[in-house]
Amino acid sequence: KVPSVFLSQLNFESLARDLLLVMQYRLEVYHVNHLEERLSVVEAFVEISELRRSLADEHLKKLPDFDRLSKKFHRKKASLQDSYRVYQAIKQLPYICESMEKHAEELESNYNLLREMFIAPIRQLLLDFEKFTEMLDSTLDFKMVERHEYMVKCDFDPELQRLRSKMTEVEEEMEEAFTDAATQLKLEKGKTIKLELAPQFGYVFRVTCKEEKALRQNKRFTTLDTNKAGVRFINSQLQQLSDGYQDLRASYEAQQDAVVTEIMSIACGYAEPMHTLGDVLAKLDVLLSFAQPLGTGSNLIKLDQCRHPCVERQDDVSFIANDVLLKKEEHNFIIVTGPNMGGKSTYIRQVGVAVLMAQIGCFVPCDSVTVTLVDAILARVGAGDCQAQGVSTFMAEMLETSSILRSASANSLIIVDELGRGTSTYDGFGLAWAISRHVALELKSACLFATHFHEMTSLADEVPSAVNYHVTALTSADGNDGTSLTMLYQVRPGSCDRSFGIHVAECVDFPRSVINAAKRKAAELEDSYVTGNAEDGDGSDRRKVKLVKKCSFFILYTQSGQRIVQDFLHSVKREKWNELSDSEAAAKLSELKRKATDAGNEYVDGILRGLKASN
């Protein structure tokens, strides 16, 4: 189930496109033939950029939301203005067909697909709308439309014609009054003084604020209001003419209501063709925004330098990209551990987003991507209760997980974020372990499982398809008897045995007494846990003691590399950058980087390679 609000976050431009994406994902995405046809069309649009720009920038932007308009016509709530918007759009449709036909030779075999999917349906719909356009040509007053007034031609009724004649006479008199006012104020008509219709005042004169001095001490004119657009004012002659014109207009509109009602009753019969046209144009709009992913039939999900499309679009975010590999039977259940705020949730969610985008044929935020078709993307992320229904946070978590276990198959992608945190540690870990084991061994679904239960990493010793990954970070002394935590947001193979929750508390300035008490209590619990397990006497005690004795999750790296990075960060913090010019700052930063890289440390080189790839 893919809510359209999620797709809107990817910056798709219209509601119609969102709804079509959801419909395509639910109904078509698991049919390889449909996907391959879409990809062929997308390939044509990608290769012929002139066609893509012409359709997207020149033609589709001029069209209204037909899905919304068709609903208004179906409910008989549409106006004469809505009919004119449809009329304008229909006049644009031939240019869309001509743009595609113009590139028939370049499209080669893909032209037949475009003709079947777009050109032929649009041509047929143009025939269906012929009577509609003829009706508006003969009934709508296009001269009034230029003034943003939507009225019926007076030729339709003698009374309308009489009222229209009087309105024309009053318009001519107002034009004469306009000329007289410009002469009296010694202003240039149509430039420094204008005649306009104001909703609250009727017809008024307007001058810019700069020319307002011409009104001072002139008792023939009355100022109505002043705003940034200028000063609006009136005289007795224009007031009388404006009131008379508004009365005539009201009579004209009342007289034309019967004609408009008849026109709109006929126009509402075109609601179904409008809906069909909206579907065709929405599909074209979607495919113009897509690009072809690589691979659709393997048992492999491989994302090189994957990014989260929503996060990387935020201001002041330099996103750190990471690789992802999910392979049936041998690398299909990824357990992600690491510190709080280290990027675990973003990592597993971006995989779900990338697979969805690739499967519907969309641009994918990766350097390269190979995906297998999945029949569902099932996610258990976030936490929230529902007081109205008496559902606690943990119950909501269990309900969602139960639904996943019932729905998932070997062809599903499952994303789980910190399962079991809403209850006691032992119960939560027991549930997380049992559910993970069931997914890996029974369902055999591809799964990414982010957790703070570090004992979960031992699942990789029992399940062949389970592998451990961790997000990286650095801790260093901050000079105030505390430690600072620097997130690197890189995902690396191996496990982590700490969440660094106390370090996060230090980052938000918890009282030092609270931090110290937390460290003492955590140390006591670790000591008792090690002592208790050492007395068990079975083979499991060695693994548990080993987990507790790891003092940081970056144990795989050398101490010298950590010191190099910490020295570099301290040097950057100490430097007074505001006092340096741009060239001096660049030179100083280059010197600091050179000192760090000259050591030839593998740990430092790995960090630099990751940063270079993300840029």
- The average pLDDT across 154-172 equals 85
Is the residue at 603 inside a domain? Answer: no
Domain CATH for 528: 3.40.50.300
Is residue 274 classed as helix, strand or coil in its secondary structure? helix
Question: Which of 521, 556, 591 corresponds to the end of one domain?
Answer: 556
CA–CA distance, 281 with 290 (Å, rounded to integer) = 15
Same domain, 18 and 135: yes
Q: Assess whether pLDDT exceeds 90 at residue 613.
A: no
Count: domains in the chain: 3
How high is the pLDDT of residue 499? 64
**Could you give the percent of the chain with pLDDT greater than 70?**
82
- The torsion angles phi and psi of 14, rounded to 5 degrees, stand at -140, 155
Same domain, 79 and 161: no
Question: Which of 510, 526, 556 corresponds to the end of one domain?
Answer: 556
Q: 543 to each of 9, 459, 493, how far by Cα in Å?
A: 44, 12, 19
Same domain, 82 and 159: no
Confidence of residue 615 (pLDDT cuts 50, 70, 90): low
How high is the pLDDT of residue 287? 80
Nearest to 607 by CA among 550, 552, 566, 573: 566
Same domain, 324 and 224: no
Q: Assess whether pLDDT exceeds 50 at residue 404.
A: yes
The tens digit of pLDDT for each residue in 82-94 reads 999 999 999 989 9
CA–CA distance, 230 with 205 (Å, rounded to integer) = 10
Is the residue at 67 inside a domain? Answer: yes
Of the candidate ranges 344-358, 384-398, 543-557, the one whose mean pLDDT is the lowest: 543-557
> In this structure, are residues 185 and 193 in contact, taking their beta carbons and an 8 Å threshold?
yes
Same domain, 214 and 326: no
How high is the pLDDT of residue 560? 62
Range of the domain at 419: 300-556
Q: Assess whether pLDDT exceeds 50 at residue 449.
A: yes
Average pLDDT over the chain, rounded to an integer: 79
Is the residue at 608 inside a domain? Answer: no
Same domain, 486 and 360: yes
CA–CA distance, 543 with 541 (Å, rounded to integer) = 6
Q: Assess whether pLDDT exceeds 60 at residue 61.
A: yes
The structure tokens listed for 145 are 């439309």
Q: Assess whether pLDDT exceeds 70 at residue 538.
A: no
Which residue is it, tokens 């870990």?
A: 429
Is residue 386 classed as helix, strand or coil in its secondary structure? strand
Is the residue at 25 inside a domain? Answer: yes
CA–CA distance, 389 with 237 (Å, rounded to integer) = 67
Same domain, 402 and 530: yes
Same domain, 397 and 542: yes
CA end-to-end distance (rounded Å), the chain: 33
- The average pLDDT across 81-108 equals 88
Is the residue at 604 inside a domain? Answer: no
How high is the pLDDT of residue 259? 82
Same domain, 125 and 21: yes
Same domain, 345 and 464: yes
Is the residue at 148 inside a domain? Answer: no
How high is the pLDDT of residue 395? 85
Kindly write down the DSSP assignment for every residue of 113-165, as one continuous string: HHIIIIIHHHHHHHHHTHHHHHHHHHHB-HHHHTTT---B-GGG-HHHHHHHH
Q: Assess whether pLDDT exceeds 90 at residue 58.
A: no
Q: Assess whether pLDDT exceeds 70 at residue 34.
A: no
- The average pLDDT across 439-461 equals 89
The tens digit of pLDDT for each residue in 514-537 reads 888 888 887 777 665 544 444 444
Same domain, 125 and 160: no
Question: Which of 556, 588, 610 corresponds to the end of one domain?
Answer: 556
Domain CATH for 234: 1.10.1420.10
Same domain, 425 and 509: yes
Is the residue at 123 inside a domain? Answer: yes
The tens digit of pLDDT for each residue in 321-345 reads 899 999 888 889 999 998 878 888 8
Is the residue at 346 inside a domain? Answer: yes
- The average pLDDT across 11-33 equals 46
